[in-house]
Each structure stands twice: as structure tokens, then as C-alpha cells.
Amino acid sequence: MMDPLPLPDGFRIGHWTDADGRTGCSVVLAPPGARGGADVRGGGTGTRELEPLSPLANAEGPDAVLLTGGSAFGLAAAEGVVRWLEERGRGRSTPAGVVPLVPTAVVFDLAEGEPGKRPGAEQGYAACESAVGGVPDRGALGAGTGAAVGKLLGHERATRGGVGYAATALSSGELVAAVAIANAFGDVIGEDGELLGAPCGERGELLRTVDLLADMPEPPERLAERIAGNTTLACVCTDASLDKRSCAIVARMASAGIARAVNPAFSPVDGDVVFCVASGSGPPAAPGLAASWRLTVLGVAAASVTAAAIRDAVRRGSTTS
């Protein structure tokens, strides 16, 4: 299998992994001056500092995006990322010093390992220390360490998830890349429509969640265990020149990549969030048809690499767990 294209220049990704506790965190360090947006689709999200990414907010950034295990407890890992950035003078300038902006989203992995082990500030800091450019590490590591997909029949019959990555180059020369954490309630679907990750039957065969649900007019036994704690997270990284509004549009279009690769997607028991971070230094295109066309091209590419990264997460996770 050929390696994908590397991250756009200036982006770096790092992981902290607790293989025994089956949890971890993954950080995307953005180049100085980057802009970002987010799209929230899941009904069970755990997040921090998404509001500053709104086109109506006056904050710039983000300086980093953190994807972390540990459910709401894992939000504490963002404190370590903030400290790492502050020590290097990265953040919004204020009279009292820089204030880093680190939007964060979590996956629920507490049922996979030791519930008392979750990423905290030191672990978020360590993920920053490990961050490198190029093609990031993937598989059962970082925020994907305890990830699984296809959980309708219980965690013991689910398929391993993980961290995945994909990238593409546009004809303009701009790069669009995505890192994803696959921890969905639903199945992960391959490019040909076949199952990559789903609940396992008695003989180890993969079963389609939507077919199983059709035969369940009443909630199954152990309902809470079967449906608790699911999320697909993605962060799109591009060297295109986009403002915050445009980043939000690309993030929204990139969410289509989740719908292509995960079925069912955006359920009440999933915490799906997609970020888009852009580093281009040129001025964004003036409003008009040409700008809309350019955003459409970028959004289509973002959806494609998001879907590919989710599939890569399951393929890599199943071989490294």
C-alpha cells in the first residue's frame, strides 16, 4: 500500500498512547496564523472551545486541535496543549500574554480499558512533544487506541477502530488532508460498499447494523452498553487561503465524508465533529461565483479525504491492535 501525501507544510500531528488503559490523545498543531471552523453533527458530543471558531466570533486561530479519548474527562488534556503552546509564545496576543486557542473533541473509550485512566494535562503536553510533519502515524494509537466501530451487538463483537489519514492534491497545487478517529456506533463502509468494520456474527462474519436494527422493534438487552460511547472525529488540514466562514463551510461539506464511510451516521448516540484548519497566507477569494466554486472544489476534496481517513482508521486499527 502506497503512503499517502504528507500533511501541508507547517502542520504537525502527535499522539500520546496508553496501550494498557486503551486510551490516548492526538493533537494537530497548526501553523501560526491558521484559521479554523467546525461542524457538529452528532447528538452526543463532548467539546471545548468550539464557539471561538464561529464566523461571528472575533477570535483568530486555532493554534491546535485536540482529539482525545477519556470522554468528558479527557477534555483536561487540552490544558497541557495550552501550556505547551504558551511556552512557545503561540496564541492570541493580549496585554497579559498569549492565550492559545485549542478546540477539542472527545471520543468515549472508557468501556474499552481501565475507566480510571484518561488523558490529562501531562498527556496532552506529551502529544505536542511528539508531533511531527509528513505522514502521521496511524492505527490503534492516540485518540484511536480504544476505538471500535459496529457496536450494536456489544463491544466484544465490534471491530477495532483507530486513527486514519488521507490526503489529496488539487490541480491548483493546494493540499487537502484529513486525520480521523473511527469510534462509530455504525459500520464503516468501504469504497465498494462492502463492510470494513461492523458487528461480528457467531461465525466471525460482519453483519450490517442497519439490517440488524430492522429486526429489533424493541430495544435489545444491555441497551446502555451497546449504544453508549460512540464518535467519529475528523480534522481537515489544508494550505488553501480560507477565512473562518470558508473553513466552516469546508468542515460542513467534509461531514459528507462521514456519511459516506459510516452507516448509520450522525445518530443521537454518536458525537461526530469535523474541524477544518487552513494555513494559506494569501487573501481569501472575494465573495462571488468564483469563490463559491473554489469552496465547492475544496469541500468535495475534504469530504473525499475524510471518508478515506475513516476507512484507513479501521484498516490500520485492525492490524495494530
Q: Read off the C-alpha cell for 319.
A: 492490524
Amino acid at 155: H
Does residue 21 surpass a pLDDT of 80? Answer: yes
Please check whether residue 45 is in contact with residue 275, taking contact to mean a CB–CB distance below 8 angstroms: no
- Residue with the larger pLDDT of the pair 112 and 101: 101
Position 320 scores a pLDDT of 59
Residues 106-134 have pLDDT tens digits of 999 998 877 788 999 999 999 999 999 99
Give all domains of the chain, ordered by start, each with its CATH number: 12-320 (3.60.70.12)
Taking only the tens place, the pLDDT of each residue in 129-163 is 999 999 999 999 999 999 999 999 988 899 999 99
The string of pLDDT tens digits covering residues 72-96 is 999 999 999 999 999 999 999 999 9
Confidence label for 321 from pLDDT (cuts 50, 70 and 90): very low
Q: Rounded to the nearest 5°, which phi and psi values hold at 201?
A: -80, -175
Q: How many CA atoms lie within 13 A of 108 on its CB side?
A: 21
pLDDT band at 188 (very low <50, low <70, confident <90, very high): very high
Cα 287 to Cα 92: distance, rounded to the nearest angstrom = 27
On the question of pLDDT at 268 being above 70, the answer is: yes
**Mean pLDDT score of the chain:** 94
| Closest to 295 in 3D by CA, of 245, 261, 233 | 245
pTM here? 0.95
| Beta-strand runs (E) in 175-256 | 175-183, 187-189, 195-197, 231-238
CA angle centred on 156, ends 154 and 162, rounded to 5° = 95
Predicted confidence (pLDDT) at residue 43 exceeds the cutoff of 50: yes
Alpha helices in the chain (DSSP H): 77-87, 121-129, 209-214, 223-227, 244-261, 289-320
Q: What is the pLDDT of residue 223?
A: 75
Q: What is the pLDDT of residue 1?
A: 57
**Mean pLDDT of the region 285-300:** 89
Q: What is the mean pLDDT of residues 181-207?
A: 96
Among 94-103, 165-174, 210-219, 220-229, name the one with the lowest average pLDDT: 220-229
